[in-house]
Amino acid sequence: MKRLFGIIILLAVCVAAVGYFGFCSGEDPVYDNFEVAATTSPFSVNVLDEDDGEVNTKLFGLIDINTTKAQKSEEREVLLGGFPLGLDLNLKGLMITGKAGVVTADGAVSPCENTDIRSGDVLVAIDGRSVGDDKTIAEILNKKQGQPVELCILRGEERIKYTVFPAKDVLSGNYRIGLTLQDSIAGIGTATFINPESNKFACLGHAILAQDGSVIRIDGGKIYNAYISGFIKGKIGKAGELNGTFSSKSQSIGNIKTNCKFGNYGTFTGKSDKLEKIKIGGRLSVRPGKAQIYSTVIGSEPAYYDIEIIKVNEQSSPSDKSMVIRITDEKLISQTGGIVQGMSGSPIIQNGKLVGAVTHVFTSDPTKGYGIYADWMYPLTE
């Protein structure tokens, strides 16, 4: 009889697990066609003692499954961001922004016209020699005097080689390959936090991407104080954006080391004595319900805005799209329409703790967007 009862309980657990994970599996929703579905999990997770990180998992809230130890969140304290940053990133190679004609003695010529070189590709070498500026390119091409050269192009993780014939520009006398290039990219983002023990900062919460969706490889960079002068209000079908300014000729406040899936990271060298201290709330403590974001939509001083966390994803390993949030603050909605570009990295605070950062906006509803757990960002600042 006891054996039969054990089998029944085991089957119940298996059926519940299959039903739950089957319902929650599938592709991530696309940003412009997202609907939040109400789900009910047969499993409940109770944080019994957050100081010790003890977590108890139950089936239907009644039957104990196991008790595990989670990472201590109370010991991690950071300096709260929310202020705007000017980001100036150096590229590994030269980013291609387009193809161009070369005016020669025989008319206009486009050396790369018949190649599939694309905007967003990165030119890393010519004839095996690394290139990072126009001077180096001119030196290589002029030495070849119109003879074919081999271009090494980086597209995502793929390296592609093309052979092209440089054309002589009749105006300058230099040989050119007919590509428009840039050696850096710049923009506005939001600081998430600074780790006071290492002086390392975290911002954005997501990678800066090339046009093909790959993570752009950088060769360092700098951050600067920025000022938000205005914004374009978001609307259905089109994300809004913050309009900000910064000067790369001013004193930098930090060095960027990494551009990865979870944001930009580096060393902070600016003044931090007036920044608010806050404890990190571990991902297991995050719950659907009221929260706030700390962000700057005008000027350089951040403010708190009310939001609601409407969906929390269980993640046992680093991943983005940790939670879905909705802006509920009427003032912010009337100003920006909700989440706009430039808010990426804005801290998400729940129960007085930093639990994540804003990363994306849903173009179908600018009041909604994704956030990433602070748990996935903090280790990159240790």
Q: Give domain status of residue 288, yes or no.
A: yes
- Is the pLDDT at 259 greater than 90? The verdict is yes
362 and 217 within one domain: yes
For residue range 309-346, what is the model confidence (pLDDT) as tens digits? 999 999 988 888 999 999 999 999 999 999 999 999 99
Asked if residue 158 and residue 233 are part of one domain, the reply reads: no
Catalytic residue among 127, 183, 306, 329: 329
Question: 298 lies in which domain range?
Answer: 77-89+184-381
Which tens digit of pLDDT belongs to each residue from 174-233?
999 999 998 888 899 999 999 999 999 999 999 998 877 888 888 899 999 999 999 899
Pairing of strands 179-195, 158-164: unpaired
The confidence score (pLDDT) of residue 214 equals 81
Please indicate, yes or no, whether residues 168 and 287 belong to a single structural domain of this protein: no
List the structure tokens of 76. 């991690």
Instruction: For residue 151, tell me if it sits in a domain.
Output: yes
**Cβ–Cβ under 8 Å, residues 318 and 306:** no
Mean pLDDT for the chain overall: 82
**Which of these is catalytic: 73, 88, 121, 206?**
206
Number of domains within the chain: 2
Q: Is 66 a residue whose pLDDT tops 90?
A: no
Exposed e or buried b per residue across 274-310, where buried means at least 16 C-beta atoms within 10 angstroms of its C-beta: ebeebebbbbbbbeeeebbbbbbbbeeebbebebebe
* 110 in active site: no
Amino acid at position 90, single letter: N
| Co-location of 200 and 281 in the same domain | yes
Is the domain of 143 the same as that of 194?
Answer: no
Residue 213 falls inside a structural domain? yes
pLDDT of residue 211: 75
In the listed set 160, 177, 194, which residue is the last one of a domain according to the structure? Answer: 177
Which pLDDT band holds residue 308 (cuts at 50, 70, 90)?
Answer: very high
Q: Percentage of the chain with pLDDT > 90?
A: 59
Catalytic residue chosen out of the listed positions 295, 344, 365, 375: 344
Average pLDDT over residues 32-53: 33
- Is 322 annotated as catalytic? no
Domain boundary among 177, 203, 233: 177
Question: What's the CATH number where 154 sits?
Answer: 2.30.42.10
Tokens of 342: 């430039």
Q: What is the Cα Rg of the chain in Å?
A: 25
Which residue would you say has higher pLDDT here, 295 or 29?
295
pLDDT at 126 over 50: yes
Report residue 31 as tokens: 């940003």
* Cα separations in angstroms, 315 against 191, 254, 318, 319, 323: 24, 31, 7, 7, 10
Known catalytic residue: 206? yes
Q: What angle do CA 285, 290, 296 make, to 5 degrees?
A: 100
Asked if the model's pLDDT at residue 39 lies above 80, the reply is no
